[in-house]
Structure 1
Amino acid sequence: MSGRNECELQGVSLLGTQNTKYPSDYDPTILECFSNKHPENDYFVKFDCPEFTSLCPMTGQPDFATIYISYVPDKKLVESKSLKLYLFSFRNHGDFHEDCVNIIMKDLIRLLEPKYIEVWGKFTPRGGICIDPYCNYGKAESAWAQTALDRLHMHDMYPETVNYRK
């Protein structure tokens, strides 16, 4: 099996860098991508970020979540270190939960132009209530547009068990 050549990794600058700079506020420009060697295959790539943090725009208090990102790539894949740094950049960003997941999805759509993507935020309780926003997108005029609609319609019809929720 062959690796990736320099041309295929063009635009990837953070991976392998020892002097990583952590952004102090929301920064979508930190996201990097590389070419998909298998664009003819439909397959899911999934990321779980169990340590996502943002700020409540009203109180300034931290909000904690696990962010789930699943996508079907087309021509590009997101580079994971840049994704980690990008998600970290929300640490001092004040926005509601629903806004955070939609911003993440839209930034990744702009970067990757995926066939399909979904972002689900599972936020820990604040004030006795959990908020778990979900958003998705399927490329227009493709089978993935229908998939997005179907998954949105059936989303969370059978909620899973979450340990801190009895």
Structure 2
Amino acid sequence: MTSGRDQKELTGVSLLGNKTKYPTDYAPEVLEAFINKHPSNDYFVKFNCPEFTSLCPMTGQPDFAAIYISYVPDQKLVESKSLKLYLFSFRNHG
């Protein structure tokens, strides 16, 4: 496996390597996480989403934003493809 992780370490990660189904509405269930191989090391994980879109809950018009996420993982890390799909799920959500 090119990721350096075996199947046991990727338990709960189902989106990688599979055809992507894009959610049409808010979908928190798409978020996945995997075990941190180095929980005793402090390091930053950064994720940038410069083109976030959602619907304004008041007007129904599109809203645009840039989202920057930085965190120091503990026991698990958020899988980035699932995070992208989660953020995409706001596209039609007010």
TM-score by length of 1: 0.54
Residue correspondence of structure 1 range 100-111 to structure 2 within 5 A: none
Post-superposition shift, 1:47?
0.4
Counterpart of 1:82?
A: 82
Higher helix share: 1
Q: Secondary structure at the match of 1:64?
A: strand
State the distance in 2 between where 1:5 and 1:81 align: 18
**Structure 1 partner of 2:25:** 25
- Following superposition, the deviation at residue 51 of structure 1 comes to 1.3
Query: Could you report, residue by residue, the CA deviation over 1:105-132 in whole angstroms, capped at 9, with x for unpaired residues?
Result: xxxxxxxxxxxxxxxxxxxxxxxxxxxx
Give 1 or 2: higher strand fraction. Answer: 2
Q: Report deviation, 1:3.
A: 1.1
Let me know the Cα RMSD of the aligned residues. Answer: 1.1
Matched, 1:61 2:70: no
TM-score by length of 2: 0.94
Gaps of 5+ in 1: 95-166
Of all paired residues, the percent bearing the same amino acid is 83
Give the greater-gyration-radius structure (CA).
Answer: 1
Q: Which runs of 4+ in 1 moved over 6 A?
A: none
Count of residue pairs the alignment pairs up: 92
Quick one: distance in 1 between partners of 2:43 and 2:84? 21
Q: Partner residue of 1:13?
A: 14
1:3 aligns with 2:1: no
Higher relative contact order (CA closer than 8 Å, sequence separation 6+): 2
In structure 2, give the amino acid aligned to 1:47: F
Q: What SS class does the counterpart of residue 29 from structure 2 fall into?
A: helix
Secondary structure of the structure 1 residue equivalent to 2:86: helix
1:29 CA displacement = 0.6
Distance 1:25 1:34 in 2: 24
Structure 2: 5+ residue runs without aligned partners? none
What is the SS of the residue equivalent to 1:58? coil
The one-letter code matched in structure 1 to 2:76 is: K
